[in-house]
Amino acid sequence: MALRKYIFVTGGVTSSLGKGIISSSLAKLLQARGYSVTIQKLDPYINVDPGTLNPYEHGECYVTEDGAETDLDLGHYERFTNIPTTQNNNVTTGRIYQSVINKERKGDYLGKTVQVIPHITDEIKRRIKILGTKGNFDFIITEIGGTVGDIESLPYIEAIRQLRWEMGPLNSLVIHLTLVPYLAASAELKTKPTQHSVKMLLENGIQPNILVLRTEHPLNSDIRKKVALFCNVEYNSVIESIDVSTIYEVPLLMQKEGLDGTVLRKLNLPEGEKPEMKPWKQFVGKVKNPKKSVRIALVGKYVELPDSYKSIMESFVHAGAVNDCKVILQSIQSEKINEGNIGSIFTGMQGILVAPGFGDRGIEGKILSARYARENNIPFFGICLGLQCAIIEFARNVIGLTDAHSTEMDLKTPHPVIDLMEEQKGVTIKGGTMRLGIYPCNIMPGSRCSKIYNQPEVLERHRHRYEFNSNYLDMYEEKGMMAAGINPDTELVEIMEIPDHKWFIGVQFHPEYRSTVLSPHPLFIDFVRAALA
């Protein structure tokens, strides 16, 4: 029987303090002690999910096995805990209101005025509790997006207050993450913003149990005492979270600060032995002390915001550690690439990755990049739109279909080598309607991918509307680009590769969503290995 303890993580002072990393680190530590843990993110915006958000607004959209388009923090949860998340792990205000309004229309509240309290807060509580009742978890960690004091966060804070009251103090606790800024002019760390944000929580009826303080400098005992006294928490519940060079070091840091032990003590659970974090430490050691480095170009149109390609970047950290090397990712804005400058842009690059994406901005630069990699025998990895670009390029420059394109970019192309999937043809609504989530893929015996995966069937996650138009497959195979992965149910081509090339693979799915610290993705590992060779 699972324990079902609820841990709420709130944030104060500023956004981007890393609640997702703290939640993931705590989950990792509790897991290492033998507990089962899941993490949930509640996002206070009105979009029903982040699938309709531009990556510039909100970073990458992460896709779960069951096809939910979610916040990028869920990627951290999976990368740290190695446990898949689901639709239930990310809930937005939009989704909460949508279900309340649907119920209202059905007549579920007949006769009642539907209000934020109790109807919205009840729905929030239901969404939090679902994870405990549906899953078999000892700990359900719920991260509240946004910052305490935001108008949008209020219903969430109120829902937590009620839940804590209902559950009792031994079944839930609140961890509040804040910032202790350093004033260089007076060489001082300041605790006032933390005091104020705790005060704000108190105004809403919540006394946090544990404070995690983000800081650029170590916190001495005077500062810790001051925060403990003025924020009404125990001295050893003031946890320092100092800046580190890799997010993967945070669990080790939190262990040193005793975060997991404090959580267990407060919930009246035996602390036991400190968990063994050996494999994790080994991984962090490899990340921090690489023996060599490799330069890989990441070609995309959202490169100005690194969060847009979060999972790809993290997959390279995992794959780099396996190869004992640091992957230096050189972000390249595809709009800037042209025939004249491509040689100098890719000078020194040992591998080229063309990223996923939508729409035609920068598309010709991506197509040129695939061509450059193919013609110069540079390891090439195309993901989703990246595969589609490699296919268009091959049609134009090898098969001789000079006007070939994707119908996403050119509806009138005479050679639609990438075309809308059959199931997408009648779809007019944009939200949640792509081909989403996990699908099986049969790997062709004898292909490079069969050596890489070393299994005949794999499961990978998708997020797209267009596909390779199989009517052209014979032409490709005749000229040396082979289908290396096929969906066994629909026969959609999921992987193309060029056997007569150092390493040239394009995949219609997103392998980056599946790479974790303990289970790095084989395609990334092998791509890095090939780039190093």
512 is catalytic: yes
Q: Which of 176, 467, 512, 521 is catalytic?
A: 512
Cα four-point dihedral sign 274, 279, 281, 282: positive
CB of 463 to ligand GLN, least distance (A): 5
Give the x/- contact pattern for ligand GLN in 396-435, rule: CB under 6 A: ------------x---------------------------
Q: Check 231, 384, 389, 449 and give the catalytic one.
A: 384
Catalytic residue among 119, 176, 462, 510: 510
Residue whose entry in the numeric block shows the structure tokens 């070609």: 299
Would you say 472 and 396 are in contact if contact means Cβ atoms under 8 Å apart?
A: no
Q: How far is CA 152 from CA 45, 147, 236, 316, in A?
A: 7, 9, 32, 35
Minimum separation from the CB atom of position 516 to ligand GLN (A): 20
Q: How many CA atoms lie within 13 A of 175 on its CB side?
A: 33
> Minimal distance in Å, beta carbon 386 to ligand GLN?
7
Give the H/E segment covering residue 493.
Answer: strand 493-497
Minimum distance from residue 83 beta carbon to ligand GLN (Å): 24
Nearer to ligand GLN (CB atom), residue 267 or residue 383: 383
Q: Which residues pair with 436 in a beta bridge?
A: 463
Contact predicate 141/27, CB 8 Å: yes
For the bound state, the minimum distance from the C-beta of residue 493 to ligand GLN, rounded and expressed in Å, comes to: 13
Closer residue to ligand GLN, CB minimum distance, 465 or 529: 465
Helix, strand or coil, per DSSP, at residue 426: coil
Four-CA torsion 131, 132, 134, 135, nearest 10 degrees: 90
The interface with ligand GLN within residues 328-387 (CB under 6 A) comprises 356-358, 384-385
Q: Which of 169, 431 has the CB closer to ligand GLN? A: 431
Q: Is 196 a catalytic residue?
A: no
Closer by beta carbon to ligand GLN, 207 or else 470: 470
Quick one: which of 523, 531, 446 has its CA closest to 484?
Answer: 446
CA distance 26 to 140: 11
| Shortest separation between residue 353's beta carbon and ligand GLN, angstroms | 12
Pairing mode of beta strands 380-383, 351-354: parallel
Identity at 122, one-letter amino acid code: D
Nearer to ligand GLN, 109 or 358 (CB): 358
Per-residue buried b or exposed e for 186-203, using 16+ beta carbons within 10 Å of the residue's own CB: eeebebeebbebbebbee
294 φψ region: left (φ > 0), alpha (ψ -120 to 50), beta (else): beta
SS3 assignment, position 238: strand
Spatial separation of the C-alpha atoms in residues 381 and 478, rounded to whole Å: 21
Residues 450-489 within binding reach of ligand GLN (CB under 6 A)? 463-466
Size of the site for ligand GLN (CB under 6 A): 10
Q: Is 310 in the site for ligand GLN (CB under 6 A)?
A: no
Beta strands in 145-209 (DSSP E): 172-179, 182-183, 188-189
CB of 355 to ligand GLN, least distance (A): 8
The reply to whether 152 belongs to the active site is: no
- Where in the sequence numbering do the catalytic residues fall? 384, 510, 512
Query: Which chain residues interact with ligand GLN by CB under 6 A?
Result: 356-358, 384-385, 408, 463-466
